[in-house]
Amino acid sequence: MLLLDLNKAPQDTVYYLSAVVEEILSIDSGLDYSSLMNKLNDQLRMNVNPTFFNLALSFLYLLDKIVINERGELYVHQEPKNHKF
């Protein structure tokens, strides 16, 4: 179940930040935590709350939308293109 936030600033929600993070990583994959945070701040033209940033990353990780390699680089999870159903 999704809990909707009655916040009047949707850009301050975990869901919105998750979408922007996924978009950034789909364009520039392989970023580390601080580089991704800087790109997010630049794109949104504001300083994102680090707690909300962590929640957005956790949300994407739990949905299997991002993967983290052994060096700590973040990637958008890509489905294999040759599905056999």
The residue ranges of the chain whose pLDDT is under 50 are 1, 80-85
Q: Where are the domains of the chain?
A: 17-71
Q: What is the pLDDT of residue 48?
A: 92
Q: What is the pLDDT of residue 74?
A: 82
Angle ∠(74,75,80) on CA atoms, nearest 5: 155
Residue 71 CB neighbours (<10 A)? 7
